[in-house]
Amino acid sequence: MSMNNQGRPTGTGTSGFASTSGSALLPNEPLLFEIGDTEHSGVDLPDVTISTSRLGGFERKMPLDLAGLTEPEAMRHYVRLSRLNHSIDSGMYPLGSCTMKHNPRLNEKMARLPGFSDIHPLQPVSTVQGALELMNQLSHWLMTLTNTAAVALTPKAGAHGELLGMMAIKAAQDAAGQSHRKIVLVPESAHGTNPATAAFLGYTVKPIPARSDGTVDVQAVKDALSPDVAAIMLTNPNTCGLFEPQVIEIARAIHDAGAFFYCDGANFNAIMGVVRPGDLGIDAMHINLHKTFSTPHGGGGPGAGPVVLSAALAPFAPVPFVRKGDNGLELVEHAEGEVLGRITAFQGQMGMYVRALTYMLSHGGDGLAQAAQDAVLNANYIKARLAHAFSVPFGDYPTMHEALFDDTFLAGTGVTTLDFAKALIDEGFHPMTMYFPLVVHGAMLIEPTESESKQTLDRFCDVMEELATDAKAGNSERFTSAPLKAPRRRLDETRAARSPILKWERPAETLKAAE
């Protein structure tokens, strides 16, 4: 998920760093390179000598200059750093489009079983039958939940899945002599990855405007269709948190025109177990295991983005895939008549497959549907509680798993969406997604997920109401100066981009460079 990050200019201040330990429980932690040195190490290894090296004269001459820490120093460095992060486990994280749900620790424990973590992608397939069986089981769940014919597990992230799905569409059209189809329709509310993916594959992106109610008009799609259209990339539920009411008609129109329907499955959490995307007419859809199926976000990846495929696209799935053979399961690494080839070196994100399947088995089919319903319930509850104090862009009808507000309610207050979000930090909550989707002015996109209790939702809504009241009362200082209680005040992003400092350099080197 992406979001604009428009920083309000901050004070210039002086660059510098106080090597204090910080205050109370908020640490001020020096860089690894400021506390470690090249002699210290936290790993005991024998110092072997090599009589006849086989390095052929390519030995390193450039100094490595890598700082090391002993184990207790390293432990403290990374624990102290960690405390500067907000996380799901420490508080509500209502980032719209990101599905920040609880990450069960059973998933972590299972992923670390040596039978999963200590197996090599190229060891004989006869020695990894359990791993292939796991991939098959995961595939079964994904295909059942989506009513689709096939699944390509290997994509390493949602955007990677998009790429694969669109490559499969391109391959199918090339095979059918339809290579002239060079246009991809993308609604204006789409994630930035959609147009980026289409452009990457050489398609021309044709935007589809949103209706005033935030959804896509089937007529607008029909008007944009031509024999040169390859596909539509549509997010459903869409990025405004709304189910596309005409999605079936849109799919029909797309298919009638000989094009394919790529569905961005980022918001599958709203409908898993309740609606099967295959029943809506999708041809390909990526599923973010790190959103819907609770694999950890890890501070920005690794993700996993398996793609389910319709029968029309199934023959164009990439290698490798699992197949039943005479002697158990086979891993097909080179397929006859293979079209797409391979989009990553090995079998994809096995560690995430284990976590996702563990999560599915824990919930069961009934629990997954209940989770989707609770996610939708929670978003509607927030919307219902806050509608009187905030401004709702698309009128009074149910939302799916996200509540979307615009910044009309802040008009004349001198407070922006960004300021409002930063004030939320001082109240102990991670801000909502801001300024996305782009079709809504000053958007605030709130996705509570099913993991939040009613008590937490009430506390969040109380805080939101109080902030809205305060903003309207003219107390803009509280917002424009926020956050005041976080480990850092607002950061100067303009300065960071204007003269980028992307790595640490010894102060002496810095001085020399400045001469």
CB closer to another protein out of 6 and 473: 6
Is there a contact between 293 and 355 (Cβ–Cβ < 8 Å)? yes
Q: Which of residues 481-510 bind another protein (CB under 8 A)?
A: 481, 483, 486-493, 495-497, 500-504
Phi, psi of 59 (to 5 degrees): -60, 150
Q: Which of residues 356-415 bind another protein (CB under 8 A)?
A: 357-358, 360-371, 373-374, 376-378, 380-381, 383-385, 397-398, 400
Phi, psi of 166 (to 5 degrees): -75, -30
d(Cα 408, Cα 151) in Å, to the nearest integer? 43
Nearest approach, Cβ of 34 to another protein (angstroms)?
10
Q: Which of residues 7-26 bind another protein (CB under 8 A)?
A: 7, 10-18
Specify burial of residue 461 (Cβ count, 10 A radius: 0-12, 13-18, 19+): middle
What is the per-residue binding string for another protein in 209-238, x denoting contact by CB under 8 A? Answer: ------------------------------
Return the number of other C-beta atoms located less than 10 Å from residue 496's C-beta: 12
Among 85, 324, 326, 508, binds another protein (CB under 8 A): 85
Among 227, 298, 325, 474, binds another protein (CB under 8 A): 298
Integer angstrom CA distances of residue 477 from 6, 110, 345, 380 = 18, 49, 52, 31
Is residue 36 a contact residue for another protein (CB under 8 A)?
A: yes
CB closer to another protein out of 24 and 62: 62
d(Cα 514, Cα 357) in Å, to the nearest integer? 54
Is residue 275 a contact residue for another protein (CB under 8 A)?
A: yes
What is the per-residue binding string for another protein in 54-83, x denoting contact by CB under 8 A? Answer: xxx-xxxxxxxxxxxx-x--xx-xxx-xxx
Q: Of 117-125, 226-234, 307-315, 463-471, which segment contacts another protein by CB under 8 A?
A: 117-125
CB closer to another protein out of 65 and 326: 65
Determine the size of the site formed for another protein (CB under 8 A). 219
DSSP per residue, 386-411: HTTTSB-TT-SS--SS-EEEBSGGGT
d(Cα 264, Cα 16) in Å, to the nearest integer? 44
Is there a contact between 379 and 401 (Cβ–Cβ < 8 Å)? yes
Q: Which of residues 446-465 bind another protein (CB under 8 A)?
A: 450-454
Q: Which of residues 309-348 bind another protein (CB under 8 A)?
A: 318, 333-334, 340-348
* CA angle, 498 then 503 then 507, to 5°: 95
Nearest approach, Cβ of 221 to another protein (angstroms)?
16
Is there a contact between 334 and 183 (Cβ–Cβ < 8 Å)? no
CB closer to another protein out of 181 and 191: 191
CB closer to another protein out of 89 and 477: 89
Q: Where are the alpha helices (DSSP H) in 405-453?
A: 417-426
Among 142, 150, 185, 198, binds another protein (CB under 8 A): 198
